[in-house]
Amino acid sequence: MMAAQLRQLKLITSVGGANSSLYASIRRKTSSAHYVFSRARDPTFEKLMGNYKNLLKVIAIQDLILASPIKNPPSVSVDFLNRLSQRLHLNRGAVAFLRKYPRIFDIFNNTSKCQPFCKLTAAAIDISQQETEAIAASISLSVDRLVRILSMSVSKSVPLRAVMKVWKELGLPDDFVNSVIASNPHIFQLIDGNEPNTHVLKLVDNKSIENFSAAIENWRITEYCKEGNNVDRSDIKYCFKQMFPPGMRLGKTFKAKLKEWQRLPYIGPYEEMRENRKSNSKAGMMGLEKRAAAIVHEFLSLTVEKMVEVEKISHFRKCFGINLNIRDLFLDHPGIFYLSTQGKMHTMFLREGYERGCLIEPNPVYTARRKLLDLVLLSRRGLSSCDSMLMNPDKAITTNNQQESDSEEEEGENT
């Protein structure tokens, strides 16, 4: 019971520097807030995030239902969800949102409580079980991801609350503190933080760091070893894969600066950050910025869906020794990252991980989540008025009225 309440509280609370000289010609010293609206947009990522923003709301409600102390079936009262409407960003209230996705949510009358409750449909439960099984089968990957994140930290430690911000993005189980951290005392250690009731996750064994190679380094090796590829080793030794938004104009000056930046040496994400390698010179600052780009690139590569909210990754900034604004870093490198502002939040994608809106190398956890996204995209399509009345017998509404209601909600969410 205590674990379920803790998970539910975590879910409720979680809903809710220097710029690169390389892209100075694009930004023209404007603020990042101004540039984010004038940047070159990528229609594929914008469409994906347009669909994904509603998926995030669905997942938030789904997890609240699964974490509910009420079992047989797991359910929460509609009144409870209504009280969380603002935090969950349900513009027209919980009922309108729940009825928009009848393939995922089922509103029923709880006779013992004498009020409407919400539970998951059989299809949604099946998808949730698939995701849970996929996560359970990849515990070793969860351990590896946490070790790599700790290895990128200057002190080889990160606040536990920072990890709790990205536990879903990293594909960690709900009870990762016990199943991953406590179960591997020879790898991880939880120590008290500087503030009361805070904990720090520390890496016990540093030997494995020597064998780590970053995702970008693996790409360079693959690129260099391609048959018939005459790429000069010096051209690819420190470079990043660049995939610019369609229609983005690249001038001669920009291309020259990009080529210079690609050849610039830097400290890799798993290399030790020594004091004598830090520098206040222009070349030194650019090297530190390139290291920051490498760290963020590696962090995104470790996530299940190659994406993360800017606010969440910002909690790791000091741990990783990144002394510049994270959002500015994303904006300054549109060939590596893509920043979307759909759904009243800033979400960062690793461009090279996607093709036509889908992961190039999918994994079982991602596959299960895409199935849930398919149900979100279906919404009420294909449901007749009779089906609507069967799913919601207490408050049956016509298909036309529901479509008007859905349209109003979508307009409100897009503003």
pLDDT in tens, 170-216: 999 999 999 999 999 999 999 988 888 889 999 997 776 678 899 99
Q: Which residue has the tokens 């929460």?
A: 76
CA-closest candidate to residue 124, choices 378, 388, 313, 325:
378
CB 100 within 8 A of CB 119: no
Helices (H), 137-172: 139-152, 160-165
pLDDT tier, 326 (very low <50, low <70, confident <90, very high otherwise): confident
The rounded distance, in Å, linking the Cα atoms of 38 and 339 is: 12
CATH for 139-208 is: 1.10.10
The rounded distance, in Å, linking the Cα atoms of 268 and 181 is: 26
Neighbours of 71 (CB within 10 A): 8
CB 45 within 8 A of CB 354: yes
Stretch 6-17: mean pLDDT: 43
Stretch 156-166: mean pLDDT: 96
Structure tokens at 212: 């780590």
CB 236 within 8 A of CB 1: no
Q: Evaluate whether 47-130+379-414 and 139-208 have a shared fold.
A: yes
Whole-Å CA distances, 313 to 84, 309, 364, 397: 25, 7, 23, 43
C-alpha 358 chain-centroid distance: 14
95-112 pLDDT tens trace? 999 999 999 999 999 877
Q: Is 189 exposed, middle or buried (0-12, 13-18, 19+ CB in 10 A)?
A: middle
CB 100 within 8 A of CB 406: yes
Structure tokens at 343: 């759904």
Whether the pLDDT of residue 350 is over 90: the answer is: yes
C-alpha 111 chain-centroid distance: 39
Neighbours of 406 (CB within 10 A): 17
Measured in degrees and rounded to the nearest 5, phi and psi for residue 285 equal: -65, -40
Measured in degrees and rounded to the nearest 5, phi and psi for residue 46 equal: -65, -40
Q: Sketch the domain layout of the chain as residue ranges.
A: 47-130+379-414, 139-208, 213-359
CATH for 47-130+379-414 is: 1.10.10
Q: Is the pTM of this model over 0.75?
A: yes
- Helix, strand, coil fractions of the chain, as percent rounded to 5: 50, 10, 40
63-97 pLDDT tens trace? 999 999 988 899 999 999 999 999 998 988 999 99
The rounded distance, in Å, linking the Cα atoms of 378 and 376 is: 5
pLDDT tier, 55 (very low <50, low <70, confident <90, very high otherwise): very high
Structure tokens at 255: 């291309």
Three-state secondary-structure class, residue 164? helix
Whether the pLDDT of residue 270 is over 80: the answer is: yes
∠ CA 276-328-295, rounded to 5°: 50
